[in-house]
Chains A and B, each alone.
Chain A
């Protein structure tokens, strides 16, 4: 019943991607099922309750909480403008009157006779939900959002930062082994998603931000540069809300690691096309990986990149499969499975694990724990 699931990231020239676009709270859906949308189409809108302000009236008026209603000028639910009187004392002599005015424009939410404080709420803030993809509305979820579907080339990264964005995909380097440096980023890259090769460093990232790129897609980077970019040490792999000026997608991992050739070739064939990307990563139950989505015309095929299956759909690993090692001492090396012994084997740590024998491109061979490889599709 159980089978070995070998992790693999999706890199495919053609698939159908369906995205649920859900409001953070109930609202209004603005599109209909079957409607064509672009990434920038607002598909739903909601009103976020306004910010709350607490005013302690009893302290300011010098009265007891239970007496507060007698001093109130407004009532619960009333609309108020900034500077309106909320409550006032009623002294015998008028010039001894104390008034408390509203610090905001909004509504009076509650008047508490227990604590003597009044809670005021600012007007609601509209929140708009974008389609994120060029595609069609496959389903409307009334009051909540929509499902947008598109036929596209689809690439998953291993790690990213920054949220959803879209723009034109451009190649920054000529080969997957080449580093993308500060010199590669020019003013022409403003608003674009730039594809690098093996590595991006701190200086190049600073330059990317300065020229105003929307996204960077690259094989690897150093953790120290990530820390410099974020301004803090990222402790837990939950990302997507960072605001560093652009969205960053790593396809391979940390360190200098050439981008998988198949990924690079597919991106090269998509040069100049509109792409939607997201850096959101969550590596726990309910895994979210960063992604690059390039919508295609209905009958369009990207030539020269074979469509492959991935993940569980391919039913485990076989002799002959191309793989990449994802842990030291062979981290980042690419090879082919030449043996899949079924018995547990002892590795140098003395752990007994399931292993595979891999032949690297230079002809050398190594025995590697199955947990430490990743299938390269196609």
Chain B
């Protein structure tokens, strides 16, 4: 359902079919720019009794019709293009969609060397929006029969096999292919078709791979994702993953054939679309950013540093279905360090498990809210650690060292995530997007990520990044317009000096010059102290920091720094809580410090 490609797009309806909810948004051209104007949602209808994803899509669009007064549906069809009947309030120019219904895209990846081709394959699958169920490698420590048993028991939607550089040895990648063939892997959905398998390894092994896997899988061969050790080439394999996602996986899910026929652009896996919009925005604005989507079951982290995009998904860090796993991974002490009161361990454990088994409940009391936000901090923190470990430079690559590098023994494969060079953090997901006070989202991200120097923070207002990602493939201008104007709620800027010092000792002197004649403020920030200065959305202030001798704000220890800081619904926060962030170890002292910070930021009601 597309209109004439030569005609400019004026109205766009986009949906994201999630596991539980289908969210629709209407984007319209208003004057010279695109704006998101209406939204609607309805339960996703992939499962019984409906078993047709289009029911939920029609319901969500019908809600937009009701709110906007625009007629979009003609029975069970989307009217395109807009205004064809002569009435400008009838129809839309294009319908586009993303999908993560039915558990999203679940993949298994295999390579030869764990830290090299297997890791590249993992990055490729993650970047394509998949959940990676397991990573197999010749040197992963498992015996052959253990690998085969694992492949057999997994039942992924798709397998990505890589291994070897072009022209290198074929033995090991062929060995992996033999294991896969012996396992006779079967797809997750449906019994009647062969499992899609993408081969993106040594090109010299293609004939052998076809021989071994051609009959047992739906084999697709594409360019090697690691043609030489020094370079990754993830694009072709990623594109193949998207093609196969549509052809095989989506086509098996109920109603998707119809949905695909409606859409004016290929349906993308939801996380792939989110990654795409982040990558587009980062490149367009020339910034480094981290995006996070913390959901009920998983936490996705996206980053773009110096133009390199990475995505990871922490499959079992979430705020409802997998909330117990956050407790298991983070440990009770790490969660409790963020809670400004004491609670019995047994009581807390039971509360967390009850949230897990009744995931739709909401905190009614302040202490319940504080506990959930404490858990969110740990989920965010752990997911970023996971992300940093995978968003790295290529491992196993020889580095040229100069004489000045002799004493700096950095290994190859260093993380690309550099918090000091980070410009923007974008948070998304219920606990961040729907926190009762925006400053709570701000502090959750600051506590979890410990940004260094000057960092801007924002939240996704209604989770429309997936829609904008797929829109960017059709009209980049429309996608970035809406992203900047309607998608993000700018929270403000965190200014965090790097260094340690005695509580109360001088950390840095500051001078903040506000726009439009507002009186400048001067003062001294002490260690262990936070200060918040309101600065409205769209405003910028000049923040001059003169740090103590042992303190760094990005220009070196003791070197003064002056930078523009953008405002937001929270403002500018000066964070003197040391970096790495230090919390008192004694319970009474810690509770007192937390209460002091919360009061300074007006974090919770009295």
Q: With an 8 A cutoff between CB atoms, is A301 at the interface?
A: no
Q: How far is the CB of A252 from chain B (nearest CB, A)?
A: 9
**A51 and B145 contact, CB distance less than 8 A:** yes
**B171 and A371 contact, CB distance less than 8 A:** no
Q: How far is the CB of A360 from chain B (nearest CB, A)?
A: 15
Q: How far is the CB of B360 from chain A (nearest CB, A)?
A: 5
**A110 and B322 contact, CB distance less than 8 A:** no
Chain A residues with CB below 8 A from B101, complex form: 285
Q: How far is the CB of A286 from chain B (nearest CB, A)?
A: 6
Complex alpha-carbon distance, A114 and B204, angstroms: 12
Q: With an 8 A cutoff between CB atoms, is B186 at the interface?
A: yes
Q: With A235-B324, A254-B353, A327-B362 given, name 10 new contacts (CB 8 A).
A: A25-B186, A54-B145, A236-B297, A236-B322, A236-B325, A283-B359, A327-B358, A329-B365, A348-B605, A350-B437
Q: With an 8 A cutoff between CB atoms, is B178 at the interface?
A: yes
Chain A residues with CB below 8 A from B182, complex form: 52, 54, 109-110, 119, 121
Q: Which of B42, B47, B324, B354 is most buried by chain A, counting CB atoms within 10 A of its CB?
A: B354
Q: With an 8 A cutoff between CB atoms, is A159 at the interface?
A: yes
**A224 and B346 contact, CB distance less than 8 A:** yes
Could you give 14 example pairs across A and B, Cβ below 8 Å? A110-B181, A114-B175, A117-B175, A117-B178, A119-B182, A233-B324, A236-B325, A283-B321, A326-B358, A327-B363, A348-B366, A349-B365, A351-B362, A371-B361
Complex alpha-carbon distance, A144 and B327, angstroms: 40
Q: Which of A119, A285, A368 contacts B364 (CB 8 A)?
A: A368
**B363 and A52 contact, CB distance less than 8 A:** no
Q: How far is the CB of A335 from chain B (nearest CB, A)?
A: 15
**A369 and B362 contact, CB distance less than 8 A:** yes
Chain B residues with CB below 8 A from A371, complex form: 360-362
Q: Which of A158, A237, A255 contacts B350 (CB 8 A)?
A: A255
Complex alpha-carbon distance, A259 and B47, angstroms: 31
Chain B residues with CB below 8 A from A286, complex form: 47
Chain A residues packing against B (C-beta within 8 Å): 1-2, 5, 7, 25-26, 49, 51-54, 65, 109-110, 112, 114-115, 117, 119, 121, 144, 158-159, 222-224, 226, 233-237, 253-255, 281, 283-286, 326-329, 331, 347-351, 353, 368-369, 371-372, 374
Looking across the interface, which residue of chain B has its beta carbon closest to that of A2? B42
**A284 and B174 contact, CB distance less than 8 A:** no
Cβ contacts B139-173/A at 8 Å (1 or 0 each):
00000110011001000000000000000001110
Looking across the interface, which residue of chain A has its beta carbon closest to that of B186? A25
Q: Which of B42, B44, B172, B364 contacts A1 (CB 8 A)?
A: B42
Q: How far is the CB of B404 from chain A (nearest CB, A)?
A: 45
Complex alpha-carbon distance, A328 and B178, angstroms: 54
**B364 and A329 contact, CB distance less than 8 A:** yes
Chain B residues with CB below 8 A from A119, complex form: 178, 182
**A327 and B350 contact, CB distance less than 8 A:** no
Q: With an 8 A cutoff between CB atoms, is B247 at the interface?
A: no
Complex alpha-carbon distance, A53 and B178, angstroms: 12
**A110 and B178 contact, CB distance less than 8 A:** yes
Chain B residues with CB below 8 A from A49, complex form: 152, 184
- Beyond A117-B178, A285-B47, A347-B364, whether A237 also contacts B352 by CB under 8 A is no
Q: Which of A1, A159, A327, A372 contacts B63 (CB 8 A)?
A: A1
- Beyond A117-B178, A348-B364, whether A51 also contacts B149 by CB under 8 A is yes
Complex alpha-carbon distance, A371 and B42, angstroms: 17
Q: How far is the CB of A328 from chain B (nearest CB, A)?
A: 6
Looking across the interface, which residue of chain B has its beta carbon closest to that of A370? B362
**B171 and A222 contact, CB distance less than 8 A:** no
Complex alpha-carbon distance, A372 and B320, angstroms: 14
Q: Which of B327, B354, B359 contacts A255 (CB 8 A)?
A: B354
Interface size on B, residues (CB 8 A): 69
Looking across the interface, which residue of chain A has its beta carbon closest to that of B66? A1
Chain A residues with CB below 8 A from B542, complex form: none
Chain A residues with CB below 8 A from B233, complex form: none
Q: With an 8 A cutoff between CB atoms, is B601 at the interface?
A: no
Q: With an 8 A cutoff between CB atoms, is B329 at the interface?
A: yes
Q: How far is the CB of B437 from chain A (nearest CB, A)?
A: 7
Chain B residues with CB below 8 A from A1, complex form: 42, 59, 62-63
Does more than half of chain A's interface fall in helix, strand or loop, or is it mixed? Answer: loop
- Beyond A1-B42, A119-B178, whether A326 also contacts B324 by CB under 8 A is no
Complex alpha-carbon distance, A253 and B351, angstroms: 10
- Beyond A237-B324, A285-B47, whether A54 also contacts B357 by CB under 8 A is no
Q: How far is the CB of B447 from chain A (nearest CB, A)?
A: 19
Q: With an 8 A cutoff between CB atoms, is B20 at the interface?
A: yes
Cβ contacts B37-79/A at 8 Å (1 or 0 each):
0000011101100000000000100110000000000000000
Complex alpha-carbon distance, A111 and B186, angstroms: 23
User: 10 shortest A-B CB distances, which residue pairs?
Assistant: A235-B325, A54-B144, A350-B436, A223-B349, A233-B328, A254-B350, A114-B174, A285-B19, A254-B353, A327-B361
**B325 and A327 contact, CB distance less than 8 A:** no
Chain B residues with CB below 8 A from A233, complex form: 324, 327-328
Complex alpha-carbon distance, A51 and B143, angstroms: 13
Chain A residues with CB below 8 A from B366, complex form: 348-349
Q: How far is the CB of A81 from chain B (nearest CB, A)?
A: 19
Chain A residues with CB below 8 A from B345, complex form: 224
Chain A residues with CB below 8 A from B19, complex form: 284-285
Chain B residues with CB below 8 A from A159, complex form: 353, 357
Complex alpha-carbon distance, A317 and B425, angstroms: 41
Chain B residues with CB below 8 A from A7, complex form: 358, 360
Chain A residues with CB below 8 A from B20, complex form: 285
Looking across the interface, which residue of chain A has its beta carbon closest to that of B372? A349
Chain B residues with CB below 8 A from A223, complex form: 324, 346, 349-350, 352-353
**B148 and A328 contact, CB distance less than 8 A:** no
Q: With an 8 A cutoff between CB atoms, is B400 at the interface?
A: no
Q: How far is the CB of B72 from chain A (nearest CB, A)?
A: 15
**A26 and B191 contact, CB distance less than 8 A:** yes
Which residues of B (286-332) have their CB < 8 Å from a CB of A? Answer: 297, 316, 320-322, 324-325, 327-329
Chain B residues with CB below 8 A from A222, complex form: 346, 349-350
Chain B residues with CB below 8 A from A237, complex form: 321-322, 324, 356-357
Chain A residues with CB below 8 A from B437, complex form: 350
**B605 and A350 contact, CB distance less than 8 A:** yes
Complex alpha-carbon distance, A159 and B324, angstroms: 14
Q: How far is the CB of A371 from chain B (nearest CB, A)?
A: 5
Looking across the interface, which residue of chain B has its beta carbon closest to that of A236? B322
Complex alpha-carbon distance, A190 and B192, angstroms: 44
Q: How far is the CB of B66 from chain A (nearest CB, A)?
A: 9
Q: With an 8 A cutoff between CB atoms, is B103 at the interface?
A: yes
Q: With an 8 A cutoff between CB atoms, is B419 at the interface?
A: no
Chain B residues with CB below 8 A from A109, complex form: 182
Complex alpha-carbon distance, A223 and B357, angstroms: 12
Q: With an 8 A cutoff between CB atoms, is B248 at the interface?
A: no
Looking across the interface, which residue of chain B has its beta carbon closest to that of A157? B357
Complex alpha-carbon distance, A253 and B182, angstroms: 44
Q: With an 8 A cutoff between CB atoms, is B208 at the interface?
A: yes
Q: How far is the CB of B334 from chain A (nearest CB, A)?
A: 14
Complex alpha-carbon distance, A374 and B322, angstroms: 21
Q: How far is the CB of B528 from chain A (nearest CB, A)?
A: 27
**B170 and A253 contact, CB distance less than 8 A:** no
Cβ contacts B212-228/A at 8 Å (1 or 0 each):
10000000000000000
Complex alpha-carbon distance, A53 and B321, angstroms: 38
Q: With an 8 A cutoff between CB atoms, is B246 at the interface?
A: no
Looking across the interface, which residue of chain A has its beta carbon closest to that of B437? A350
**A253 and B324 contact, CB distance less than 8 A:** no
Complex alpha-carbon distance, A25 and B186, angstroms: 9
Q: With an 8 A cutoff between CB atoms, is B102 at the interface?
A: yes
Complex alpha-carbon distance, A350 and B439, angstroms: 13
**A112 and B178 contact, CB distance less than 8 A:** yes
**B349 and A285 contact, CB distance less than 8 A:** no
Q: With an 8 A cutoff between CB atoms, is B183 at the interface?
A: yes
Complex alpha-carbon distance, A20 and B84, angstroms: 49
Complex alpha-carbon distance, A205 and B366, angstroms: 35
**A158 and B322 contact, CB distance less than 8 A:** no
**A253 and B605 contact, CB distance less than 8 A:** no
Complex alpha-carbon distance, A159 and B355, angstroms: 12
Chain A residues with CB below 8 A from B183, complex form: 52
